Structure 1
Amino acid sequence: MVTVHRPGEARAAARHRTRVTLLGTAGGPPWWDGSDRAGISTVVSVGDEHYLVDCGEGWGRRFRAAGLGPAGFQRGLDGLRGVFVTHHHSDHLVDYPNLLLLAWHNGADGLRRPIQVFGPGDRGTLPPVFAPERRERPPEVFHPESPTPGLVESTGRLLEAYALDINDRMRDNAKPDLREIFEIRDIPLPEGTGDDPNGDPAPEMSPFEVYRDENVRVTAILVDHRPVFPAFAFRFDTAGGSVVLSGDTGVCDNLVTIARGADLLVHECIDLDWVEQLIGPGSETPDPNLMQHMLAAHTSVEEVGPQAEKAGVGTLVLTHLVPANAPAGKWRRAQAGFSGTLVVGEDLMTLGLD
């Protein structure tokens, strides 16, 4: 059973040992007029321990506002156990540096154990050039020495960029080495998958284990967010129930596979009518390059319900909403083709599992 607690009902939500808090529900890099949704980020909690999925813009303040960590000066992240990154698009990682660099000052100084961080590894090859006008003269490769880094490498580069601050805090404030606070890991793909990221980015496969502790087992599967690769959906199985987070994906059999029988599916969603009006062939500003990405790499409001129905999930929660300023009625159309409970996500909404 899934119970929905609206923003402001954190105390009631805390009675559920397993719960999901939507920190940010806006999709895409734009700053949306007429919306106060933060960037995409979600927390799965088991008791007082928390597992963060993606670090969209504003996740830290939302984490604090949700009351997920203890109150008090330089507290908050004390119960953060693990972090899981679905893919390397900037709107899912833009506030990842905040996690690394502000953790000292928000509860991670003196943790019982390091925070485990998991994310995609090196893509291995550049994506193809889609735009016809650029195929003959492709854009210059940015940082050709390592153009497709995984999470371990990109984290190292981020920390190097802030070397002055890090050295200052360790010498002047006696802060511990950040490498004692975080353990960063690239997620290794099962043998035989990921050989052709420019062909099939989500070949048929079984979910595979990424992490396990006394609270939760986390499994992952590749989803189709072409040309980004790897892109993952994650499943959290706890004693209280099962939760799947789709990450960014188009309609994808692997998503159905990992979500099969889950209590709760938190799934991205876009309004294709809005996309057509904005950048479609008949619009004032047609953009065929962005249009093909939206069609192939995301799931529309008409498609998400049937996906959830195939998986046999009990409750479908929509997040990563594009556009983030659309009225709730637009998203309720996702009920078509889905016999379970539909919830249109809001920032700081909590879903309790019993």
Structure 2
Amino acid sequence: MKRAAGWLALAGGGLALAAGLAFQFSHAVQDGVFAAGARRQLARQSQLPLTDDALRVLLCGTSSPLPRPQAAKACTLVVAGGRLFIVDIGPEAAENLALWRVPTPRVEAAFLTHFHSDHIGELGELNMQGWAQGRMRPLDVYGPAGLETVVAGFNAAYSFDRQYRNAHHGEGTGRLPLAAGVMTAHPADFVTPGDAPSGRTQIVYNQGGIVVTAIETDHRPVAPAFSYRFDYKGRSVVITGDTVLNAGLTRAASKADVLVSEAQAHHLQNILAAEADAAGQTTLAGVLRDTSRYHINPVEAARMANQAGVRELVYTHVAPPLVFGFLKTPWLRGVSAERPEGVTIGEDGMLITIPLDGSPVRFDQLKG
């Protein structure tokens, strides 16, 4: 038996060596291997269900501005009635969408909570990718006052790119029309910049049974800043953006099925700041300490979820970064006493399914 196994191992090694040599020296073998790989990749379908049996939420970026491997900056995608909506689109998020084969040409609109770079950094890429893959109209973008300036800036920054791509692929073919490659700003007018937040709300999108409500929240000195509530066929999700605990947001989140809330564990952030000070990185240390003034912590988010009566609380924009799984324990310190169940720390690729029939919320994970 041992001798037979030895001969089999030797034969297998010989076959592997022959295959390796064939690949090294045969153009036909190289091209065949590449074609097989391309065929397999192109046959991959989107992992995102678009059937009209649920309201779906995909976490496409769960990191704070501090980097974490395998995590993009702030981004949440909502699917309702086969339509796709993006809430914030931070750096690295567009790459996630591409890896999961999310059909970006079908993104109906983008909603921006505010204009920090980690929430808008890939707005231009989202727009360009959707257009380059077949979107035939401008991308609608909704957000607070000042949105016109932000959208105009991205449109200007990508103006040469649009011209190049149209010249490469569009002229005379009807592909990549220049008029479809831009974004259109729809700024909300119910909040004046600089006003003290009072929890005002306004419906900013109402089509096909999908109602999106902008919620004035408190991220001062950023003002105005929004959260968004999506309602569809009796199901709902609220996405906070950046905020502190406040009564207006709690009211607006009432009875939502899922609350996707940013959160920062201030006690860990302060330890990080102390270590930055000790390393002589005083500017970073000061910035890290300041953030506790304008971000909600995990216990407060749990309290808000309880007061609003939501079914599931999902954390995103997680700070400081949980680079090791065991750090979830100190990050969640005190949460179980406030809310023992219905709490989840979000990860990039987490798909939250809220069935329209009212059955339990489901959690799945997309793969790149």
| Corresponding residue for residue 270 of structure 1 | 264
- Pairs within 5 Å for 1:78-93: 78-93=105-120
Give the distance between the partners of 2:155 and 2:251, measured in 1 at CA: 37
| 1:27 counterpart (64, 68, 87) | 64
Q: Does residue 325 in structure 1 map to residue 325 in structure 2?
A: no
Q: Is the CA contact 1:276–1:283 (under 8 Å) kept in the aligned structure 2?
A: no
After TM superposition, the score normalised by the length of structure 1 is 0.76
Shift of the 106–13 alpha-carbon distance from structure 1 to 2, 3 Å rule, reads closer
Distance 1:292 1:312 in 2: 31
1:221 aligns with 2:215: yes
Could you tell me whether the CA contact under 8 Å between 1:16 and 1:352 is conserved in 2?
no
How many aligned positions are there? 299
Worse-matched range after superposition: 93-102 or 232-241:
93-102
Give the 3-state SS of the residue equivalent to 2:338 in structure 1. Answer: coil
**CA distance in structure 2 between the partners assigned to 1:304 and 1:205 by the alignment:** 16
Displacement after TM superposition at 1:275 (Å): 1.3
In structure 2, list runs of 5 or more residues that go unmatched.
1-45, 356-368
Distance in 1 separating the partners of 2:90 and 2:192: 26
Provide the residue aligned with 1:185 in structure 2: 185
- Gaps (5+ residues) in structure 1? 1-8, 70-76, 122-149
User: Shift in Å at residue 62 of structure 1?
Assistant: 1.5
* SS of residue paired to 2:204: strand
Instruction: Report the CA distance between 1:173 and its aligned residue.
Output: 2.7
Helix, strand or coil at the partner of 1:335:
helix
Corresponding residue to 1:210 among 186, 189, 204: 204
Distance 1:267 1:178 in 2: 37
Q: Which amino acid aligns with 2:134?
A: G
Cα contact 1:233–1:244 (8 A) shared by 2: yes
Q: 2-side partners of 1:249 and 1:159: how far apart?
A: 28
Counterparts of 1:105 and 1:194, CA distance in 2: 36
Cα separation, 2, equivalents of 1:172 and 1:68: 25
> Which residue of structure 2 aligns with residue 350 of structure 1?
351
Within the alignment, does 1:170 sit opposite 2:204 as a pair? no
Provide Cα deviations, 1:297-341, integer angstroms capped at 9, x if missing partner. Answer: 101122211111111111000000012225333344433312551
Contact 1:13 1:350 in 2 (8 A): no
**Structure 2 equivalent of residue 336 of structure 1:** 337
Q: 1:205–1:272: structure 2 CA closer, same or farther, 3 Å change rule? A: closer
User: Structure 2 length as normaliser, TM-score?
Assistant: 0.73
Compared with structure 1, are the counterparts of its residues 237 and 11 closer, same or farther at alpha carbon in structure 2 (3 Å cutoff)?
A: closer
Match of 2:151 among 144, 148, 155: 155
Q: Deviations over 1:7-61 (max 9, x none)?
A: xx94789684311000111012x323xx321111010101432111111112222
Report which of the two has the higher share of helix. 2
Q: Shift in Å at residue 194 of structure 1?
A: 2.9
1:96 to 1:310, Cα distance in 2 relative to 1, 3 A: same
CA-atom RMSD in angstroms? 2.7
| Superposition deviation, residue 180 in structure 1 | 3.3
The 5 A counterparts of 1:273-288 are: 273-280=267-274, 284=278
Counterparts of 2:63 and 2:178, CA distance in 1: 30
Asked if 1:63 corresponds to 2:103, the answer is no
Aligned in 2, Cα 1:308/1:332: closer, same or farther, shift over 3 Å? same
> Is the Cα contact below 8 Å between 2:143 and 2:188 reproduced in 1?
no
Give the distance between the partners of 1:24 and 1:328, measured in 2 at CA. 18
Q: 1:242–1:262: 8 Å Cα contact kept in structure 2? A: yes
AA aligned opposite 2:316: T
1:53 to 71, 87, 91: 87
Q: Deviations over 1:228-258 (max 9, x none)?
A: 1221000000015100000001112221021
* TM-fit CA distance, 1:225: 1.1
Counterpart secondary structure, 1:231:
strand
- Counterpart CA distance in 1 for 2:167 and 2:50 is 41
**Separation of aligned partners in 2, 1:14 and 1:344:** 26
Q: Choose the corresponding residue for 1:117, options 118, 122, 141.
A: 141
Q: Secondary structure, in 3 states, of the residue corresponding to 1:330?
A: helix
* Partner SS, residue 230 of structure 1: strand
Contact 1:114 1:181 in 2 (8 A): yes
CA apart distance, 1:273:
1.7
Q: Which residue pairs with 1:101 in the alignment?
A: 128
Higher Rg:
2
Instruction: Tell whether the 8 Å contact from 2:155 to 2:182 is kept in structure 1 after alignment.
Output: no
Query: How far has the Cα of 1:114 moved from its partner?
Result: 4.2
Aligned equivalents of 1:168, 1:195: Cα separation in 2: 37
Residue pair 2:199, 2:248 contacting (<8 A) in 1 also: yes
Matched letter for residue 78 of structure 1: P
Structure 2 CA distance for aligned equivalents of residues 172 and 309 of structure 1: 54
Q: What is the SS of the residue equivalent to 1:309?
A: helix
Give, in whole Å, the separation in 2 of the partners of 1:252 and 1:347. Answer: 27
